[in-house]
Structure 1
């Protein structure tokens, strides 16, 4: 049976699953949740998009005691982007359970503000290893009551060199705990870490979904380095022609300077593009991801910092301007498309000197490599994104809520509900997607009329 009601879940979580349209468990949920709920350690191989966050999320929430103001669960993630995504998901799952406090602890946020918030211990902490360890060493984070440790995308954390931090963190945790380790791949290092951190874990390999298999068309083009920009324009224009509507694409480069060069070129050709790489400040990275997720830009050009933790439900195209360096990176790149039963295309450019690496990727992934001709069309995908993002200099600290912003925009702001998209509120800022043609008038009206009779600075991101 794959219905959540067949599990020994508290009623609030069954209601949460129903409210989110989780009619049936995905394979990773059906295979891992019985063991997680029984208190066993679990070592699970599962891709992003397989439903693993709900698997460990429902498991740790099921035994959480809201009346005990202690940190009972810790989730470690490789990147700030993934930690934010996991934190948001857990908050949604816990919405039916009163008084649950969750904190996200990552770099890029002042340490002092986090220390002050930790004075009232959260029930759940989600964060990156470096920042979590820093709090443990200064004793601002107390884990003496911890029940559950989750390592999400453990293979990525090992690739990024976090193993020493993870082992130092584990040394600060109670020995009597449940440890859940989720990884997209199972290299020998993962098994070694599992042996050191877990007790007789249940080993599970799960498929990504229980509906139709992922439909990702993998296309390889032989392209000289000097022709990559023109080739990219042709691929984007061809995808727009196929989709016959506004189309988004994720474009990967191996080097940061190439990310900037490609995004600058696309913008000069009338394609709305943003750049994402490690040289950007954390706030800039967050705002870029937010604008891409709410359809305020057409193309996101990124290094592999975006390969994990980026979850766009309907992304029809991924392009590797530079061929991925290894099979794992290639797998995670193409996994950004063809999600939740949708079809997608993964296009890889390959110079003549990279043929051997392309063949190794194909053999390891189990498909036959065939070379395709570039589309014959000329020109660029010049459709403007349907949305623009307003940034309001006020957030949770100012007690702003999504309903307040929506009311201000659709009341005196003059917009219809269809003109307003995603609303994201952080501690000090709020972001709202609005129809592009109405963004500046909406900005001006918010500046004049305010929100809840209060004036805030309002701008349009990117202007």
Structure 2
């Protein structure tokens, strides 16, 4: 271990002045222990092996020196960061983008599976100097000859233990074999199992045979005993509907809601304001004076709800915050710790609520381990419960009004209305009630039924046991057969991809689940042969879904799916519905932007935000 450096500011560590200035503008003044040791070492050209828990600032530990070392004028890949999941890749890319915001000419490209190759290839060919990606997609781009590492100056493996757990070691070894021997290397991991240490020995030893600087940061238990943590799985209703119901039914003093991007803070705030909540955004788009004014309004009660991004909320100390809501989950566990630390302050108790999708469920285990706590699962109030809540609240308001106000004059008016209209008091009261409840109905329409056979695209191909679905080409082996639903009747389909094409069962599962929006439990046995494969799928698949799967690709080869023994019946071309009206599997809604089957992803997938 190296000697711990203390008392140094970012400006004194040898970073480029423009980067040090940007870090200061973001509100970071004192380097964390991992940053204090890793940054000088990387700037001096030393390879680094960093052992540190999440929440210690590893992204800045390699991102800041990486930006300092690159040449903005050179339009080639100079810094490569390999991350285990697309969420973490996007978060790391957003952070590096924010760190290098004032560096003219610096471009950051994020590459990951589940999104089209086109925009990602365009970013690489455009000369992005920093590339952050997941193993499978990076390997695909290398094999295509699009990702060129010949000018690489720094290669980083982030969250290496997570990549080991997800079965990516072979992909990582293949990628790192293509890194030039002259490139500087760094590996960061919360734990150091044997496989990771073996990888470090081959990956981090430089040309002269020198061992890397091993930085070990002692793990700190982030005790959150005063913070209750609860989680709701997104299903049935939209997140904004769920959020509105929570805010309406729970008792709170101040609430801090976390979203991913600056634009999200504006959009969500506007929606909450329309619903009658006293909300305000807090993002990097605001000046320092505006931020201070917003926080002051929160303290005074003029604002009860802040919608914020991670960066601007760091250091926020408002003891009145009783609830933190993770409307969007952060890309890594360290941000989660920073988030929930905004409540339960000054010896008070607090509550942290998070919204998660099935593919994000595995993150909850990390949050529990890091916070030394337990996350409880709960359900938001349904339509019936919300109706009851509103009616009881109305009754309480009426009783309080009768007890505390002099209603003599109003009583006279009501009696006069009854006499002149010949309406009963019940009819008058009902009519007045109908007018007052127009904006917020006392009887809420029933919630839509939760899909059980097929669900939204973002819920596809992953049950809770298997955790987050990595991109195609990086998926671990398929789970045990008990995940199948025994009540489903299957047909056997033949696809024109087999062993000779490099196909694996997990590749086929991922392709079908992704393209057909089909939960993996509806995919039966898979048999691999040299030139083709057989896969069991539920009987009665819609023709439109079969057409989609015919064109879907596994290992860059079209599946050409057909029923085993007979070709899929094709409808006349004139019966083909317009592209936007084609049905998804079992009535599933159209895919969100970035998950299209035709490979045309929304530009928003290449996020340049800072979490």
Instruction: Identify the match of residue 253 of structure 2 among 232, 244, 249.
Output: 244
Give the Cα–Cα distance (whole angstroms) in 2 for the partners of residues 430 and 159 of structure 1: 26
Q: Deviations over 1:235-272 (max 9, x none)?
A: x99xx65x6333769xxxxxxxxxxxxxxxxxxxxxxx
Q: 1:89 aligns with which of 91, 95, 101?
A: 95
The CA deviation at 1:117 is: 2.8
Which one of 146, 151, 155 corresponds to residue 145 of structure 1? 151
Cα distance change of structure 1 residues 335 and 89 upon mapping to structure 2, 3 Å threshold:
farther
SS of alignment partner, residue 109 of structure 2: strand
What is the aligned residue count?
289
Does structure 2 retain, via aligned residues, the 8 Å contact 1:318–1:333? no
**Which of 367, 387, 401 is equivalent to 1:333?**
367
Matched, 1:21 2:30: no
Verify the 8 A CA contact 2:91 2:332 in the aligned structure 1: no
Q: Are residue 314 (structure 1) and residue 345 (structure 2) matched?
A: no
Unpaired runs of 5+ residues, structure 1, are 222-235, 250-290, 321-327, 338-344, 351-378, 383-425, 432-463
Q: State the shift of 1:102 in Å.
A: 1.1
Superposed counterparts of 1:28-427, under 5 Å: 28-199=34-205, 200-207=211-218, 214-217=222-225, 244-246=253-255, 298=325, 308=333, 311=336, 313-315=338-340, 317=351, 332-334=366-368, 346-347=373-374, 427=603
Deviations for 1:281-319, whole angstroms, at most 9, x for unmatched residues?
xxxxxxxxxx99699x956699xx976586474225568
Is the contact made by 1:318 and 1:347 (CA closer than 8 Å) also made in structure 2?
A: no
Contact 2:336 2:367 in 1 (8 A): no
Shift in Å, 1:185 = 1.3
What SS does structure 2 have at the residue aligned with 1:217? coil
Question: Are the structure 2 counterparts of residues 430 and 128 from structure 1 closer, same or farther at C-alpha, using a change threshold of 3 Å?
Answer: closer
Give secondary structure in 2 for the equivalent of 1:169. Answer: helix
- CA 346–95 in structure 1, closer or farther in 2 if over 3 Å, else same: same
Measured in 2, the distance between the counterparts of 1:187 and 1:57 equals 24
Q: What is the alpha-carbon distance in structure 2 between the residues aligned to residue 63 and residue 42 of structure 1? A: 15
Please say if residues 222 and 370 of structure 2, whose CA atoms lie closer than 8 Å, have aligned partners that are also in contact: no
Q: Distance in 1 between matches of 2:137 and 2:606?
A: 25
Q: Which residue of 2 aligns with 1:423?
A: none
Residue 216 of structure 1 aligns to a residue whose secondary structure is coil
Distance 1:163 1:86 in 2: 20
Q: Does 1:7 align with 2:34?
A: no
RMSD of aligned Cα (Å) = 4.3
Distance 1:292 1:193 in 2: 39
Give the superposition deviation at 1:124: 0.6
Q: Is contact 1:87-1:104 (8 Å) kept?
A: yes
Please give the alpha-carbon distance, in whole angstroms, between the structure 1 residues aligned to 2:332 and 2:370.
7
Q: Deviations over 1:123-175 (max 9, x none)?
A: 01001010001000010111111111011111001101110110111111101
**TM-score of the superposed pair, with normalisation by structure 1:** 0.53
**Cα gap change, 1:103 to 1:208, in 2 (>3 Å):** farther
> Counterpart in 1 of 2:418?
none
Q: 1:219 to 1:186 in 2, by over 3 A?
A: farther
2:337 and 2:364 map into 1 onto residues whose CA distance is: 18
Distance in 2 between the 1:72 and 1:248 partners? 36
State the secondary structure of the residue aligned to 1:314: helix
Contact 1:69 1:122 in 2 (8 A): yes
Q: Any gaps of 5 or more consecutive residues in structure 2? A: 1-6, 206-210, 230-245, 259-306, 314-323, 344-350, 355-361, 378-384, 391-601
Bigger radius of gyration: 2
With normalisation by structure 2, the TM-score equals 0.41
How many angstroms apart in 1 are the aligned matches of 2:195 and 2:158?
15
Q: Matches of 2:253 and 2:197 in 1, distance apart? A: 46
* Alpha-carbon distance between aligned partners in 2 of 1:177 and 1:162, rounded to the nearest angstrom: 22
CA distance in 2, matches of 1:196, 1:219: 43
Detail structure 1 runs of 4+ shifted over 4 Å in the superposition. 218-221, 291-295, 297-302, 305-312, 316-320, 328-331, 379-382, 428-431
Matches of 1:205 and 1:162 in 2, distance apart?
Answer: 24
Which secondary structure state, in structure 2, belongs to the residue aligned with residue 96 of structure 1? coil
